[in-house]
């Protein structure tokens, strides 16, 4: 299968959040009820919930600012979910084989929750801070990863991800990654022609290529969920060296070294010693001879 991608056009999105609901429905994720309204609880944004969480794999983000040189506001809608990186740091640090790239070559980062051991290393490595975990508790049992899989179970049956199917504005589309990229560039050009000079494509080269291609209507500062130049932490690479080659050298080195000293020291024998504390004589008991006399007056001990 060729590489696939989810296409998101922020200039078409009306922030209806049908995709958020569709994601919940298809993936059977609970939707706890919380208030984001009223004098004391309204957070000043329609973004709800405030961030992705262990039960919410996808949210629409809202950001607004006064429009420069004109009336009104710029109101940016963004899509926050797994970006499905080619150079996925989460896959690199996952110790249990839970996270992996789709073996069918779609490029999507998927996982086997059965294998998740709840270490949450993926969360610490993700430049987009995406992986979330259910069942987090002090005892550490039953913690499981929960994140977008691009509805791989649908994709494998030639269906589109749930979020894409529900989008009425065609802001979300799905298909061959190259086609989605071409579509994104055409759309950005169209936006440029209409005065949106800061419009851009996000996802073409970030992390060696994302499998979510964003068309950003405004400059990137309007999309807090998208770092301008996402990078894998150098610590992730350092850890790969410490974990594998250095670990192997340490284990083989110490066992080999100790094994050698064992072989060379095999059959060792020494005579029994006795210390005559009155005369300060150390004596070889087996041979009944003086080993050394401790000259206390000379400061020996």
Closest distance to another protein from the beta carbon of 59 (Å): 18
- Which H/E stretch holds residue 214? strand 212-216
Residue number with CB closer to another protein (17 or 232): 232
- Measured from the CB of residue 235, what is the shortest distance to another protein in angstroms? 4
Q: Which of 158, 181, 182, 58 is nearest to 104 (CA)?
A: 158
- Strands 212-216 and 59-66 come out as unpaired
Whose Cβ is closer to another protein: residue 220's or residue 236's? 236
Q: Are strands 289-293 and 212-216 parallel, antiparallel or unpaired?
A: unpaired
Eight-class DSSP state of 53: B
CB of 251 to another protein, least distance (A): 6
Q: Between 123 and 159, whose beta carbon lies closer to another protein?
A: 123
Q: How far is the CB of 26 from another protein (least distance, A)?
A: 26
Nearer to another protein by Cβ, of 195 and 265: the residue is: 265
Measured from the CB atom, the residue of 48 and 233 that comes closer to another protein is: 233
- φ/ψ (deg, to 5) at 79: -115, 120
The residue ranges that bind another protein (CB under 8 A) are: 94-97, 114-115, 117-121, 123-126, 129, 133, 136-141, 233, 235-236, 238-239, 242-243, 246-247, 250-251, 253-255, 258, 260-262, 264-268, 270, 272-275, 277, 280, 282-285, 288-294, 301
Rg of the Cα atoms in the chain = 32
CA distance 116 to 90: 12
CB of 287 to another protein, least distance (A): 8
- Considering the complex, what minimum distance in angstroms separates the CB of residue 32 from another protein? 18
Residue 103: partners with Cβ closer than 8 Å, 6 or more residues away: none
Nearer to another protein, 35 or 242 (CB): 242
Print burial letters for 81-120: b (CB count within 10 Å at least 16), e (below 16). Answer: bbbbbbebbbbbbbeeebbbbbeeebbbbbbeeeebbbbe
């Amino acid at each position: 299968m060729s590489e696939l991608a989810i296409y998101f056009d922020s200039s078409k999105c009306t922030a209806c959040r049908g995709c958020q609901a569709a994601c919940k429905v298809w993936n059977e994720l609970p939707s706890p009820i919380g208030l984001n309204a009223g004098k004391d609880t309204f957070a000043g944004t329609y973004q709800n919930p405030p961030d992705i969480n262990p039960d919410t794999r996808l949210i629409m983000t809202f950001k607004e600012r006064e429009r420069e040189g004109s009336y009104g506001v710029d109101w940016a809608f963004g899509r926050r979910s797994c970006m499905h990186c080619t150079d996925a740091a989460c896959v690199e640090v996952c110790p249990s084989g839970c996270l992996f790239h789709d073996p069918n070559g779609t490029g999507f980062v998927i996982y086997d929750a059965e294998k998740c051991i709840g270490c949450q290393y993926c969360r610490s490595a993700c430049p987009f801070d995406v992986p979330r975990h259910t069942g987090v508790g002090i005892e550490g049992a039953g913690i499981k990863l929960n994140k977008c899989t691009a509805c791989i179970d649908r994709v494998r049956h030639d269906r589109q991800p749930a979020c894409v199917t529900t989008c009425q504005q065609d802001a979300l589309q799905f298909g061959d990654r190259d086609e989605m990229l071409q579509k994104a560039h055409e759309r950005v050009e169209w936006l440029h022609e209409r005065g949106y000079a800061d419009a851009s494509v996000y996802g073409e080269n970030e992390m060696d290529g994302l499998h979510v291609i964003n068309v950003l209507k405004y400059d990137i500062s309007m999309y807090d969920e998208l770092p301008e130049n996402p990078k894998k932490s150098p610590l992730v690479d350092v850890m790969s060296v410490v974990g594998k080659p250095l670990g192997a050298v340490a284990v083989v080195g110490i066992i080999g070294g100790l094994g050698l000293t064992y072989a060379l020291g095999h059959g060792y024998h020494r005579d029994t010693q006795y210390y005559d504390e009155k005369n300060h004589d150390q004596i070889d008991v087996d041979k009944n001879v003086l080993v050394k006399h401790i000259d206390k007056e000379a400061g020996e001990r």
